């Protein structure tokens, strides 16, 4: 069933320019996915609601305390894969269907949740829906977030039928969650190397995003001699390579610049400003030391070119270790599947400081994610959904 569910949305949000999928919170594709999810949830007899922050909830047995909650997200990165997010949502729907087919009667409330803007692909802050739910980001800061067209999150939320004034921490919704389990396609080759279709998550790497703005002097590409230039593209380029070199010198750290935006962006124009975003990740501890080193290199490079640089943190999360007891329970239910750390962020990690949270990963034979090559074999997809059904049945006793 899970593969059939994913096939239903296989053409939603296809990005004909960049390849893969581009599905961003409250845009046409993501709204279509929301409709798809709510229709299936209702067909399963679940009571659905959209919370104040745009997260979708589908309840079996009515809302209640100590609920077992599972789910993931439907939005994607630009040009992303078909499984990152939707696999967890489709597997949750399939798991509920399997429990219904078994005649299972949950002994406590059971809910499927779809978190908004997990990738931060439109408003720049990852896990925005779960951060709002838990209060990890303030309501006003969230309302003011702007997309690349200058539209605020408040405006986009209002356009999707939410009341922007109600955006913010939701202790009632958070208080109903007893335990949370997210199923997700693996975003690496761990399960391929382990020869297992499913794993239980152990930790999520510390990670964050920083915006670097280099300012120089816009000018003519031909009439301006090199000695007369203050070209912000030069320190920006130096920062991209410095980030890689500094991460390479730190144990198992990662640093990526996947987005760089010159203004005005003309081929025959020396940019006046260049913005770039650094994604930094460190397995143990904090990203701040690495980022500070990169910022230092940026400042030196900017000064050498007569430019300035401004560095702003857009989001940061420390390393998260999932609940040991819940991990052990999932491992017991699943007959001792391996445990895996991940370099990817997830809503489960945002919830983890507040409720016992855990993750299940499904094998990805390509080991590639955030790209069209992301994949999971249909047999593993069904194994993942069956594992989730067994876990939910156990936790709902
Ligand atoms: O960026 C991440 O690690 C996740 O895919 N949002
Ligand atoms: Mn992702
Ligand atoms: Mn994801």
At 204-249, the pLDDT tens digits run: 999 999 999 999 999 999 999 999 999 999 999 999 999 999 999 9
Give the CATH number for residue 62: 3.40.630.10
C-alpha to C-alpha distance for 340 and 35, rounded to whole angstroms: 33
Instruction: Answer with the one of 297, 317, 337 that is the final residue of a domain.
Output: 317
269-270 and 339-342 strand pairing: unpaired
At 142-175, the pLDDT tens digits run: 999 999 999 999 999 999 999 999 999 999 999 9
As to burial, measured by CB atoms within 10 angstroms (0-12 exposed, 13-18 middle, 19+ buried), residue 208 is buried
Token pair recorded at residue 303:
């000064």
Give the CATH number for residue 252: 3.30.70.360
Question: 226 alpha carbon to ligand 2 midpoint, in Å?
Answer: 41
Neighbours of ion ligand 3 (CB under 5 A): 84-85
68 three-state secondary structure: strand
Mutate to test the pocket of ligand 1, among 278, 346, 371 (most ligand atoms within 8 A of CB): 346
Question: 119 alpha carbon to ligand 1 midpoint, in Å?
Answer: 6
Same domain, 73 and 150: yes
Mutate to test the pocket of ligand 1, among 122, 188, 344 (most ligand atoms within 8 A of CB): 344
Residue 44 has a pLDDT of 97
Give the residue, by CA position, lying nearest to ligand 1 atom 4: 345
Give the residue, by CA position, lying nearest to ligand 1 atom 3: 344
Q: What is the mean pLDDT of the chain?
A: 97
Same domain, 191 and 216: no
Question: 362 alpha carbon to ligand 3 midpoint, in Å?
Answer: 12
Same domain, 145 and 32: yes
DSSP β-bridge partners for residue 131:
none
Same domain, 174 and 39: yes
Same domain, 248 and 299: yes
Same domain, 125 and 172: yes
| pLDDT surpasses 90 at 259 | yes
Residue list, ligand 1 pocket, CB within 6 Å = 118-119, 126, 344-345
Within 13 A of 109's CA, how many CA atoms are on the CB side?
22
Same domain, 139 and 64: yes
Same domain, 225 and 134: no
Mutate to test the pocket of ligand 1, among 23, 119, 277 (most ligand atoms within 8 A of CB): 119
| pLDDT surpasses 90 at 179 | yes
Question: 184 alpha carbon to ligand 3 midpoint, in Å?
Answer: 7
Q: Are residues 371 and 77 in contact, defined by beta-carbon separation less than 8 angstroms?
A: no
Same domain, 157 and 274: no
* Helix, strand, coil share (%) of the chain residues, nearest 5: 35, 25, 40
Mutate to test the pocket of ligand 1, among 345, 350, 364, 374 (most ligand atoms within 8 A of CB): 345
- Pick from 128, 160, 130, 161: nearest CA to 144: 128
Q: Which atom of ligand 1 is least distant from the CA of 281?
A: 3
Token look-up 């410095």 returns 242
Give the residue, by CA position, lying nearest to ligand 1 atom 6: 119
Question: 215 alpha carbon to ligand 3 midpoint, in Å?
Answer: 34
- How many domains is the chain built from? 2
Residue 284 pLDDT level (bands cut at 50, 70, 90): confident
Question: 73 alpha carbon to ligand 3 midpoint, in Å?
Answer: 7
Instruction: Answer with the one of 278, 296, 317 that is the final residue of a domain.
Output: 317
Residue 61 has a pLDDT of 84
C-alpha to C-alpha distance for 129 and 160, rounded to whole angstroms: 14
At 313-336, the pLDDT tens digits run: 999 999 999 999 999 999 999 998
Ligand of minimum distance to the alpha carbon of 344: 1
At 75-115, the pLDDT tens digits run: 999 999 999 999 999 999 999 999 999 999 999 999 999 99
Same domain, 16 and 34: yes
- Pick from 305, 312, 309, 310: nearest CA to 270: 305
Q: What percent of the chain has pLDDT over 70?
A: 100
Same domain, 236 and 158: no
Question: 134 alpha carbon to ligand 1 midpoint, in Å?
Answer: 18
Q: Where are the beta strands (DSSP E) in the chain?
A: 47-50, 56-60, 67-73, 110-115, 177-185, 198-204, 206-215, 219-220, 254-263, 269-270, 273-282, 308-317, 320-321, 339-342, 357-362
Q: Which atom of ligand 1 is least distant from the CA of 344?
A: 3
C-alpha to C-alpha distance for 118 and 128, rounded to whole angstroms: 6
Ligand of minimum distance to the alpha carbon of 88: 3
Q: Average pLDDT of 179-190?
A: 98
Domain of 339 in residue numbering reads as 2-205+319-395
Instruction: Answer with the one of 267, 286, 317 that is the final residue of a domain.
Output: 317
| pLDDT surpasses 90 at 265 | yes
| pLDDT surpasses 90 at 251 | no
- Pick from 51, 130, 112, 29: nearest CA to 345: 130
Within 13 A of 239's CA, how many CA atoms are on the CB side?
41
C-alpha to C-alpha distance for 396 and 108, rounded to whole angstroms: 6
pTM: 0.97
Same domain, 17 and 100: yes
């Amino acid at each position: 069933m899970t593969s059939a569910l994913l096939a239903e949305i296989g053409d939603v949000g296809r990005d004909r320019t960049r390849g893969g999928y581009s599905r961003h919170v409250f845009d046409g594709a993501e709204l279509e996915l929301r409709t798809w999810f709510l229709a299936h949830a209702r067909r399963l007899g679940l009571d659905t609601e959209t919370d104040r922050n745009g997260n979708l909830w589908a309840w079996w047995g009515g809302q209640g305390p100590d609920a077992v909650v599972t789910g993931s997200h439907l939005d994607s990165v630009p040009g992303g894969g078909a499984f990152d997010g939707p696999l967890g949502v489709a597997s949750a729907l399939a798991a509920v269907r399997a429990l219904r087919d078994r005649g299972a009667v949950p002994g406590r409330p059971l809910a499927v949740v779809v978190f908004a803007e997990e990738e931060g692909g439109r408003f720049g802050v990852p896990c925005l829906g779960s951060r709002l739910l838990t209060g990890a980001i303030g309501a006003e800061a969230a309302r003011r977030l702007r997309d690349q067209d200058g539209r605020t999150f408040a405006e986009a939320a209002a356009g999707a039928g939410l009341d922007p004034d109600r955006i913010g921490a939701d202790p009632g919704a958070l208080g109903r969650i007893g335990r949370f389990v997210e199923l997700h396609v693996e975003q690496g080759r761990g399960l391929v190397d382990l020869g297992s279709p499913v794993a239980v998550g152990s930790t999520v790497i510390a990670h964050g995003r920083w915006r670097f703005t280099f300012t120089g002097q816009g000018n003519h590409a031909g009439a301006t001699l090199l000695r007369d230039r203050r070209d912000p593209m030069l320190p920006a380029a130096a920062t991209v390579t410095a980030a890689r070199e500094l991460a390479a010198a730190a144990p198992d750290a990662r640093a990526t610049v996947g987005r760089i935006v010159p203004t005005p962006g003309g081929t025959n124009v020396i940019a006046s400003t260049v913005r770039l975003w650094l994604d930094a990740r460190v397995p143990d501890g904090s990203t701040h030391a690495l980022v500070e080193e990169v910022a230092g290199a940026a400042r030196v490079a900017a000064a050498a070119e007569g430019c300035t640089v401004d560095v702003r943190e857009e989001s940061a999360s420390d390393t998260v270790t999932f609940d040991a007891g819940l991990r052990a329970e999932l491992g017991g239910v699943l007959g001792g599947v391996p445990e895996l750390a991940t370099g990817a962020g997830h809503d489960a990690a945002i919830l983890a400081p507040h409720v016992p949270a855990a993750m299940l990963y499904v094998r990805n034979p390509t080991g590639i994610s955030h790209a069209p090559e992301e994949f999971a074999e249909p047999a593993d997809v069904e194994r993942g959904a069956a594992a989730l059904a067994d876990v939910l049945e156990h936790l709902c006793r």
